[in-house]
């Protein structure tokens, strides 16, 4: 069966076959076939190949969007699929949405589970990483004095969730700092190990941080925790479909991610992985029947919601697979290194992200000494329509810069040139 035909069957059967018009997937598959046998690192600089990928997106090129770490645009094939599902859902929602469209989420579940490397009965479809992670954070039984360990660079919403449990349940949140970039992955694992106490019950660790793009040695941390009977939650908001890995490479108990980032799925999609033996130990955010205690679907009990968004994950997944995870990661590293190495040569520039591909990928964080980061971010947008994320953290400040597969080298160069201009002339008064 061809990739295209398998895709159509997975996505929406005969309905999709009748309505499908966009040739983006065909072009991606054809380009990837033509590139077979080419090393990902070599293909990373092949603009002919990546030109085909770029054409699959309907982005506004009057902006230089380098904030793809927040939410990525979807390729047209995904947008069109979601529109079709919405139209079908709206024909007679109590039947067409609930009886025809909604059940197709099971195909999405199976496909995502294969990509992640887990049992479909361990995967809940959610609306974002925050929903998935908070399900576990709020759903674990913890007693007063129990300690939760994470870092000072974790995502604010996750830290806020633990602080609410401190107020509500009397647990203790401990956060550890780490050097950025660190000299090695070993240093990060050691920081966690040194902070453990007999009261530590949960470790929350980012697979990749949202601030600097630092990748953590998750498997080592999770195995260390399991030896001590400690639960492990992995914040994978920025890692799934960003660079290649499987669940066995993490060996965690829980993993939550957003799919509207690096998978390019519709906005408001994600998944939560729960190790099968742990499902019964976690209370869902919204109530479920007792008969669902051991059913992963209890975490999807959120009331009426659009089925179109999560069904179009199928198209996003096949688009991602058409490129290939290794090729995608190599391209993202190439684009990231293109601006980072150029700016790193300037003595006033501080790079807060490691160049080591084992510790980073698309996300980079850069600071210009003597220049206010927030003003710099506004200046880049106001004068060049360059979109980046100014970050002011208690430990540092800098611009988070995140290209994507639709980003061109010229757009990355425009950012580097704008930064060099500010370094040389300063910000206007």
> Which tokens belong to 2?
């061809």
pLDDT at 5 over 80: no
pLDDT at 109 over 80: yes
pLDDT at 412 over 90: yes
What average pLDDT does this structure show over 9-34?
57
37/423 Cα distance (integer angstroms): 42
pLDDT at 429 over 90: no
pLDDT at 19 over 70: no
364 - beta bridge partners?
A: 401
What average pLDDT does this structure show over 345-355?
97
**Can you give the pTM of this predicted structure?**
0.92
Q: Name which residue leads in pLDDT, 5 or 327.
A: 327
pLDDT at 410 over 80: yes
What average pLDDT does this structure show over 330-351?
98
pLDDT at 15: 35
pLDDT at 36 over 90: no
266/350 Cα distance (integer angstroms): 35
Residues 46-81 pLDDT 10s: 999 999 999 999 999 999 999 999 999 999 999 999
Q: What percent of the chain has pLDDT over 70?
A: 95
Q: What percent of the chain has pLDDT over 90?
A: 91
- Burial class for 159, CB neighbours closer than 10 Å (0-12, 13-18, 19+): middle
pLDDT at 22: 52
Q: How far is CA 419 from the centre of its chain?
A: 27
Residues 414-424 pLDDT 10s: 999 999 999 99
399/371 Cα distance (integer angstroms): 11
> Which tokens belong to 91?
């024909």
Residue count of the chain: 429
181 preceded by a cis bond (ω within 30 of 0): yes
Judged by average pLDDT, the poorest of 27-31, 35-39, 320-324 is 27-31
Determine contact, residues 327/40, Cβ cutoff 8 Å.
yes
What average pLDDT does this structure show over 180-187?
97
372 torsion bin: left (phi>0), alpha (psi -120 to 50), beta (else): beta
Determine contact, residues 84/12, Cβ cutoff 8 Å.
yes
Residue 226 phi, psi (nearest 5): -65, -35
393/390 Cα distance (integer angstroms): 10
Location of structure tokens 């770490």: 69
pLDDT at 17 over 80: no
One-letter-per-residue 3-state SS of the chain? CCHHHHHHHHHCHHHHHHHCCCCHHHHHHHHHHHCCCCCHHHHCCCHHHHHHHHCCCCCCCCCEECECCCCCCCCHHHHHHHHHHHHHHHHCHHHHHHHHHHHHHHHHHHHHHHHHCCCHHHEEEECCHHHHHHHHHHHCCCCCCCEEEEECCCCHHHHHHHHHHHHHHCCEEEEECCCCCCCCHHHHHHHHHHHCCCCEEEEEEECECCCCCCECCHHHHHHHHHCCCCEEEEECCCCCCCCCCCHHHCCCCEEEEECCCCCCCCCCCEEEEECHHHHHHCCCCCCCCHHHCCCHHHHHCCCCCCHHHHHCHHHHHHHHHHHCHHHHHHHHHHHHHHHHHHHHCCCCEEECCCCCCCCCCCCEEEEECCCCHHHHHHHHHHHHCEECEEEEECCEEEEEEECCCCCCHHHHHHHHHHHHHHHHHCCCC
pLDDT at 321 over 60: yes
Closest CA to 242 of 279, 276, 290, 209: 209
β-strand 349-351 against 270-274: which pairing, if any?
unpaired
240/361 Cα distance (integer angstroms): 12
What average pLDDT does this structure show over 342-368?
98
Closest CA to 87 of 19, 166, 165, 174: 19
Q: Mean pLDDT of all residues in the chain?
A: 93
Q: How far is CA 256 from the centre of its chain?
A: 9
What band does 30 get if pLDDT is binned at 50, 70 and 90? confident
Judged by average pLDDT, the poorest of 19-28, 132-141, 360-369 is 19-28
* CB half-sphere exposure, 44, CA atoms < 13 A: 20
pLDDT at 191 over 70: yes
pLDDT at 325: 97
257 torsion bin: left (phi>0), alpha (psi -120 to 50), beta (else): beta
Q: Name which residue leads in pLDDT, 26 or 64.
A: 64
Residues 226-266 pLDDT 10s: 999 999 999 999 999 999 999 999 999 999 999 999 999 99
């Amino acid at each position: 069966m061809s990739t295209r035909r398998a895709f159509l069957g997975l996505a929406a059967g005969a309905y999709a076959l009748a309505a499908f018009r966009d040739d983006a997937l065909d072009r991606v598959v054809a380009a990837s076939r033509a590139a077979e046998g080419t090393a990902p690192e070599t293909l990373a600089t092949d603009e002919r190949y990546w030109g085909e990928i770029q054409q699959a997106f309907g982005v506004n090129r009057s902006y230089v969007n380098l904030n793809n770490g927040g939410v990525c645009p979807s390729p047209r094939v995904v947008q069109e699929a979601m529109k079709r599902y919405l139209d079908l859902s709206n024909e007679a929602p109590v039947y067409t949405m609930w009886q025809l469209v909604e059940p197709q989420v099971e195909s999405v579940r199976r496909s995502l589970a294969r990509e992640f490397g887990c049992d479909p009965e361990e995967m809940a479809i959610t609306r974002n990483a925050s929903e998935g992670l908070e399900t576990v954070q709020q759903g674990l039984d913890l007693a007063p004095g129990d300690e939760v360990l994470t870092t000072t660079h974790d995502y604010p919403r996750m830290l806020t969730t633990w602080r609410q449990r401190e107020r509500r349940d009397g647990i203790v949140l401990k956060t550890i700092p780490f050097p950025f970039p660190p000299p090695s992955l070993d240093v990060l694992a050691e920081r966690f190990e040194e902070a453990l106490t007999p009261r530590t019950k949960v470790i929350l660790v980012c697979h990749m941080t949202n601030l600097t793009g630092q990748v953590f040695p998750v498997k080592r941390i999770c195995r260390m925790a399991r030896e001590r009977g400690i639960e492990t939650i992995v914040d994978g908001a920025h890692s799934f479909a960003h660079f290649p890995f499987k669940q066995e490479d993490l060996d965690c108990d829980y993993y939550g991610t957003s799919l509207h980032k690096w998978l390019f799925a519709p906005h408001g999609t994600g998944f939560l992985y729960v190790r099968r033996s742990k499902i019964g130990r976690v209370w869902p955010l919204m109530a479920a029947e007792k008969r669902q205690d051991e059913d992963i679907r209890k975490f999807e009990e959120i009331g009426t919601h659009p089925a179109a968004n999560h069904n179009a994950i199928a198209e996003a997944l096949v688009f991602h697979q058409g490129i290939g995870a290794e090729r995608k990661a190599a391209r993202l590293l190439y684009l990231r290194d293109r601006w980072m190495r150029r700016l790193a040569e300037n003595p006033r520039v501080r790079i807060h992200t490691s160049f080591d591909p084992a510790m980073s990928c698309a996300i980079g964080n850069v600071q210009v000494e003597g220049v206010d980061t927030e003003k710099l971010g506004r200046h880049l947008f106001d004068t060049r329509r360059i979109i980046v994320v100014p970050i002011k953290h208690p430990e540092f400040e800098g611009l988070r810069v995140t290209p994507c597969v639709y980003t061109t080298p010229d757009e990355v160069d425009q950012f580097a040139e704008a930064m060099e201009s500010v370094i040389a002339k300063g910000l206007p008064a």
